[in-house]
Structure 1
Amino acid sequence: MVSHRERFTEIVSVLGKYGFGHIYNTHVKPENKDQNPKNLRLAFEELGPSFIKIGQILSTRNDILPPEYISELQKLQDNTSPLSYDVIEELVQLHLKQPIDHLFSTFNKTPLASASIAQIHQATMPDGRSVIVKVQRPNIENELIRDLNIFIRVIEHIPNIFLGIMVNPVEILNEIKNQTLQEIDFENEAKNAKRFMMYNNNRSVIQAPHPIDELTTQYVMVQEFVDGIRINQKEQLLKADYDLNDIAEKLVYSFLFQVFKDGFYHADPHPGNLLINDGKIYFIDFGLMGKLSPLNKKILIDTLKAITFKDVDEIAKLLLQVCKQHKPIDQVAFYHDIQYLFNKYLTKGFAGLEVSAIFQDVLRFGHQYGLTFPSEFILLEKTIVIIQGVIQNLSPDLDFMAVFQSFLLTGNVIDWKELISPEHLLRSSSRQARTLANIPQKLEKTLDHINNDRLKVTIGFNNIERRMTEVNRMINRAISSLILAALIVSSTFIITTARTPSVESLGIAFFIVASIIGLILLISILRSSWRP
């Protein structure tokens, strides 16, 4: 097995070969010095399955990578071949401490699904229950987590390796590592399933398969088999007399309850994880769950209130409160851009809004200003986009935002009574009255300071360094123009008063030099005025 040191050297060499970090590793001769999306994809492919998985996860993070990198990394494909039945049998016996034929009366040797992390088989329990057996591939944790740790060390040693491409890559990779550790722990997945079932116990339309605790370990999980119709199999659903619009609407309401009521939601609701059986929506595969802390849930609800009341200043304040800031922000431009996004999407009401487009613009906006959104919100954004895609395929005429608006009005998420209650109105009126009452006193104090020469005025400038540079450039040009004018006048005087040919030639030379300098100065001024 390759040592950590050898793998570290290999990762640095491959990244350097494709133009990432070669400046800091002069022993590497890059085939292409350009840091471009295609080269990053090629580097990840050459580094093997772990980096293909890392690249696939990064391709979902449009908050940290430019669109061209996202598009290129989405081309990464798993080429993982299914594990043989002999390997599966050996793994089941290793982790469940019994032979397969003792645990199950039947076991289908052909997998139902095979992915980079696990393989799934259908089986039957001795009591007749139909189940699925999810078996983790060997060494996944060792190889994938090892490579993530080494990749983090590489970036710590070469901090500028993704300069201008990714904001705070070490933090992002640590998030990916933590998320991966949760996904590959099947005991954690079983706990998630039971917690999801507890929250949705009184929502009759939502169901989940029951895990079998005594046959679940970190590496193997056995759970109830659900023989349903996938939510994207529209023809089969119609043949079974299902109302597609009704299913889509129930899915939206279910998701909204999970987010705003429970703060715990299924974060990978793609069609393969949503089955329809006996009029119910079954969620399966609970490896990736979204969680909203009480604070972030409150911020999300406060943002909805600010949107509802068209309070752009409050939206800006909440955005700065929730995001990590990695560079100074031009406050004027920041508020201007928020106002632009607000006008673009929210001045015409909710009808017909494209949620995915809104999130894409907000994430690009944050990336532009060096803002990093918490992973809780990024995961929520990805989930909303997936849900909207499922709904549009299932029922294109269903207005996602109309259902969302109805939920806000009837789901007790926002306490509208609090906003229009006499106490709330009284507090607001009281604040306004106090502000108005203090105006004469503040005005009198200001006039007193003016009369007694105690008034101080502080003026703040945005981008002061750039503006001072421009002022210095203007002053230098003005001085150069004065000197140039003096040269031209002097040379003209010399030419007109010269008494000998040599003095006249000297004056002509001065005039030519001054004209050339003047032409260069004029071109420089024109070029700077054309520059945006």
Structure 2
Amino acid sequence: MAALDFGALVLLSIAALLFLLLQSWLAATVVRRVVGVPTGWPRTIGVGLVMSAVMAVTVQYLYRAGSGQNPGGLEVAPGVALMLLLLATGWIFALGVGALVVIEAAFPTGSLPGPQSLFFGWKARRRRGRRYAEVVSIAVRHGLGSQIRGFGRGAAPRREAKTARALKDSLAEAGVTFVKLGQMLSTRRDVLPPSYIHELETLQTQVSPEPWSVIEPAIEERLSQPLDNVFSRIDATPLAAASVAQVHEATLLDGTDVIVKVQRPKALNQVNQDLDIILRLASWLNKTTVWGQNLGIENLAKGFANSLEEELDYRIELDNMRTIEQTLSRSGKFSVTVPHGYPEFSSERLLIMDKLPGHPVSSAGKTLAELSAKERKALATTLLGATLEQIITDGVFHADLHSGNIFIMPDGGLGLLDFGAVGRLDPGTQTALGLMLYSIDQNDSAGATDSLIELLGRPENLDDRAVERAVGELLTRYGGGSRSANGQKLFDDLFNLVLAHRFSVPAPISAAFRALASVEGALLVIDPSFDVVAVARHEGNRLMRSKLKSTKITDEFQRRAMQILPMIDRLPRRLNKITEDLEQGRFSMNMRVLENTSDRRFLTSLFQQLIVAVLAGAAVLGSIMLITSEQGPLLTEGIHLYAFFGFVLLFGGFVLSMRSLMLVFKRGVDG
């Protein structure tokens, strides 16, 4: 018998719990519908549970009040108790709506971790929290904390320089990922002031190499076989060590000298953790600061994260090497060596490629000194020509051509290294960039201006004549291929012109300008007397003439003609109809102002919000008038019937006000 009683109690408890959950779910569903915007289910169910609990207590109290079982408390007639219960139900619901609005306004849906995160991933969150606190403390220690809100608001030059130094020092101390972020930002002269660019360009990583006891098992793991099966020799002392990877010399079993580029075992986890912090900081700054929104800092962070993830995948670098090697061999005009990669031995975290003989330009002073002036000029011409060929003709180019990545070979040739950063341009962009260089060579300021606008797009309030005059001054300065006396450079000046007229520079085009500007520095190391402007003009002219061969022009005309043939077929009939309508006075024009669906949706939501706000205000004013009125019959001692109706009306006004507020909050987030 006791067992049956216990079983019945368990079943009754389960039924009560299920009923409570069903009641809470129904309440939460109604609340979501009344609020008018989707809110997170966990918080809505939580509000529903609280509403159910309060409702249960209220029902019990009013039942006792209406049945004479509430000594010393409220005692009313059963009908009045029922009316008060209905009013209390409405207000419990209204307060639930208000609570949900307040929670949603303070912590929008998606801004907090889900319930499952309370039980899973807490170790990762703890590590991230420690790292986050460390990064923030570094920034505050260097004085960036007080600059966050006012950054980019036209600060005095002295203060701006101080903030730039603090930013550089903070990034350098924060570690490899933040150093790479600073190096990326140093190339974006279109988004940062010159003082920041100057400071960030000096960022370098100083790291110690990993011991061979750590690197050897990492190489074997990524080779999936012992080192003796692949190499006859591998040097335990690294040739170079960077923050993410280090490089070792080795010899394959067939006697080929190779370079082994291996990623540090713990580098990927650290980079991923720091990228998560960078993305979160960028999202916060984008929401809380004006300068963050103006710079598009969230998009910058996402672009940096994508490029760094690609850089950490050596399969992509291997593919980039093969692509550049194919483009250079297809041209056949320039003798530039790209190391051969070994995909059978390489992987996502390991890259094996041929070792290039010679020295990088940055440390090849002795080799260059032994070359004649003619040989040095030929080397510089080859480097610039190959770079322009990649950008204008092929659309795939080495995007990091600084002096350390360009090798002077023993035979007097050139070699390229480090293909982690490769730019890609679509055919239209290639043509626009080539036409701009062609127009510069022809001293055609109007053509160069049109090509520049086609390349970058037209910014708002652009003064075409001012741009054309600035381009004309640039052509005059570099006319005849002579460099200006103050040492300014063609590509630097061209990029400064772009920035001065507030053009928006897409990332691929920015990479092309950066490649040209960086290779210009390497060219002047190879040959200090090299005429960069004259050769760039000559090569740009040659490449565009090559692209515009008669066969290609004919093909292009045929392709365009095929596209407009249907329009030409219908043109006579349309012209005939227009002239007849004009002659007989039937010509009319029809224009639909709100044809776009998004425009109609915006106006509809705006009017809905306005109507809800007006109704809410009217209901609240009417309820106040009824509540303060002492007229009408009494429900109980001290409670007038009109006051009861006032509280009912106030309930409606309160709910409408909460809905209006939620629509305002959501419009602010979405807009």
Residue 384 of structure 1: how far off its partner (Å): 1.1
Residue 135 of structure 1: how far off its partner (Å): 0.5
Partner Cα distance (1:145, 1:335) in 2: 48
Alignment check: 8 A CA contact 2:397 2:422 kept: yes
Partner Cα distance (2:551, 2:477) in 1: 24
Residue 216 of structure 1: how far off its partner (Å): 0.2
1:171 aligns to what?
Answer: 299
* Aligned counterpart for 1:102 among listed residues 229, 239, 255: 229
Taking structure 1 as reference, are residues 230 and 57 closer, same or farther at Cα in structure 2, changes over 3 Å only? same
* Aligned counterpart for 2:434 among listed residues 282, 301, 312: 301
Taking structure 1 as reference, are residues 198 and 177 closer, same or farther at Cα in structure 2, changes over 3 Å only? same
Summarize deviations over 1:52-75 as a string: whole Å, max 9, x none: 221122122222211101112233
Amino acid of the structure 2 residue aligned with 1:149: D
Listed as ranges, the matches of 1:115-194 within 5 Å are: 115-159=242-286, 161=289, 163=291, 167-194=295-322
Partner Cα distance (2:267, 2:456) in 1: 33
Summarize deviations over 1:6-33 as a string: whole Å, max 9, x none: 4445545554552366559xxxxxxxx9
Alignment check: 8 A CA contact 1:60 1:382 kept: yes
Q: Give 3-state SS (helix, strand or coil) of 2:348's partner.
A: coil
Listed as ranges, the matches of 1:342-357 within 5 Å are: 342-346=472-476, 349-353=479-483, 357=489
Residue 291 of structure 1: how far off its partner (Å): 1.6
Taking structure 1 as reference, are residues 250 and 87 closer, same or farther at Cα in structure 2, changes over 3 Å only? same
Amino acid of the structure 2 residue aligned with 1:188: I
Moved more, 212-221 or 101-110: 101-110
Listed as ranges, the matches of 1:474-493 within 5 Å are: none
Alignment check: 8 A CA contact 1:66 1:165 kept: no
Partner Cα distance (1:235, 1:262) in 2: 34
Moved more, 188-197 or 3-12: 3-12
1:403 aligns to what?
Answer: 535
Residue 385 (structure 2) pairs with residue 258 (structure 1): no
Summarize deviations over 1:293-321 as a string: whole Å, max 9, x none: 11211221232344456555555555445
Residue 113 of structure 1: how far off its partner (Å): 1.0
Partner Cα distance (1:23, 1:273) in 2: 39
Q: Give 3-state SS (helix, strand or coil) of 2:145's partner.
A: coil
2:379 aligns to what?
Answer: 247
Q: Give 3-state SS (helix, strand or coil) of 1:121's partner.
A: strand
Partner Cα distance (1:226, 1:395) in 2: 22
1:214 aligns to what?
Answer: 344
Amino acid of the structure 1 residue aligned with 2:344: E
Amino acid of the structure 2 residue aligned with 1:171: N
Amino acid of the structure 1 residue aligned with 2:277: I
Amino acid of the structure 2 residue aligned with 1:291: R
Partner Cα distance (2:207, 2:429) in 1: 38
Summarize deviations over 1:198-253 as a string: whole Å, max 9, x none: 22225262222211111100101111122224345243245477922222222222
Partner Cα distance (2:504, 2:195) in 1: 19
Residue 112 of structure 1: how far off its partner (Å): 1.0
TM-score of the aligned structures, taking structure 1 as reference length: 0.68
Taking structure 1 as reference, are residues 74 and 251 closer, same or farther at Cα in structure 2, changes over 3 Å only? closer
Residue 171 (structure 2) pairs with residue 47 (structure 1): no
Alignment check: 8 A CA contact 1:290 1:376 kept: yes
Summarize deviations over 1:110-152 as a string: whole Å, max 9, x none: 1111112211101111221111111112233332243233222
Residue 497 (structure 2) pairs with residue 371 (structure 1): no
TM-score of the aligned structures, taking structure 2 as reference length: 0.55
Residue 200 (structure 2) pairs with residue 73 (structure 1): yes
Q: Give 3-state SS (helix, strand or coil) of 1:372's partner.
A: coil
Q: Give 3-state SS (helix, strand or coil) of 2:276's partner.
A: helix
Residue 515 (structure 2) pairs with residue 383 (structure 1): yes
Partner Cα distance (1:239, 1:368) in 2: 43
Partner Cα distance (2:182, 2:477) in 1: 38
Residue 412 (structure 2) pairs with residue 286 (structure 1): no
Alignment check: 8 A CA contact 1:301 1:413 kept: no
Taking structure 1 as reference, are residues 282 and 273 closer, same or farther at Cα in structure 2, changes over 3 Å only? same
* Aligned counterpart for 2:405 among listed residues 248, 261, 273: 273
Residue 453 (structure 2) pairs with residue 329 (structure 1): no
2:128 aligns to what?
Answer: 4
Partner Cα distance (1:206, 1:223) in 2: 16
Moved more, 115-124 or 12-21: 12-21
Moved more, 213-222 or 198-207: 198-207
Taking structure 1 as reference, are residues 248 and 75 closer, same or farther at Cα in structure 2, changes over 3 Å only? closer
Taking structure 1 as reference, are residues 403 and 22 closer, same or farther at Cα in structure 2, changes over 3 Å only? closer
**Aligned-residue RMSD, C-alpha:** 3.5
Summarize deviations over 1:38-65 as a string: whole Å, max 9, x none: 2222332343332122112212222221
Alignment check: 8 A CA contact 1:322 1:374 kept: no
Taking structure 1 as reference, are residues 336 and 150 closer, same or farther at Cα in structure 2, changes over 3 Å only? same
Amino acid of the structure 1 residue aligned with 2:278: F
Partner Cα distance (2:468, 2:275) in 1: 36
Q: Give 3-state SS (helix, strand or coil) of 1:123's partner.
A: strand
Partner Cα distance (1:324, 1:409) in 2: 23
Give 5+ residue unaligned stretches, structure 1: 25-32, 425-532
1:30 aligns to what?
Answer: none
Q: Give 3-state SS (helix, strand or coil) of 1:133's partner.
A: strand
Taking structure 1 as reference, are residues 374 and 83 closer, same or farther at Cα in structure 2, changes over 3 Å only? same
Q: Give 3-state SS (helix, strand or coil) of 2:259's partner.
A: strand
Amino acid of the structure 1 residue aligned with 2:174: L
Q: Give 3-state SS (helix, strand or coil) of 1:265's partner.
A: strand
Residue 102 of structure 1: how far off its partner (Å): 3.1
Partner Cα distance (1:420, 1:47) in 2: 54
* Aligned counterpart for 1:235 among listed residues 366, 378, 392: 366
Taking structure 1 as reference, are residues 362 and 139 closer, same or farther at Cα in structure 2, changes over 3 Å only? farther
Residue 108 of structure 1: how far off its partner (Å): 0.8
Amino acid of the structure 1 residue aligned with 2:303: E
Partner Cα distance (2:171, 2:541) in 1: 47
Partner Cα distance (2:488, 2:547) in 1: 23
Whose radius of gyration is greater, 1 or 2?
2
Q: Give 3-state SS (helix, strand or coil) of 1:196's partner.
A: helix
Alignment check: 8 A CA contact 1:345 1:353 kept: no
Partner Cα distance (2:553, 2:424) in 1: 31
Taking structure 1 as reference, are residues 171 and 324 closer, same or farther at Cα in structure 2, changes over 3 Å only? farther
Taking structure 1 as reference, are residues 74 and 404 closer, same or farther at Cα in structure 2, changes over 3 Å only? closer
Moved more, 186-195 or 300-309: 300-309
Taking structure 1 as reference, are residues 340 and 404 closer, same or farther at Cα in structure 2, changes over 3 Å only? closer
Partner Cα distance (1:22, 1:304) in 2: 41
Taking structure 1 as reference, are residues 310 and 416 closer, same or farther at Cα in structure 2, changes over 3 Å only? farther
Taking structure 1 as reference, are residues 418 and 187 closer, same or farther at Cα in structure 2, changes over 3 Å only? closer
Partner Cα distance (2:472, 2:220) in 1: 58
Partner Cα distance (1:168, 1:364) in 2: 20
Partner Cα distance (2:425, 2:338) in 1: 21
Q: Give 3-state SS (helix, strand or coil) of 2:295's partner.
A: coil
Alignment check: 8 A CA contact 2:258 2:352 kept: yes
* Aligned counterpart for 1:201 among listed residues 323, 329, 341: 329
Taking structure 1 as reference, are residues 312 and 9 closer, same or farther at Cα in structure 2, changes over 3 Å only? farther
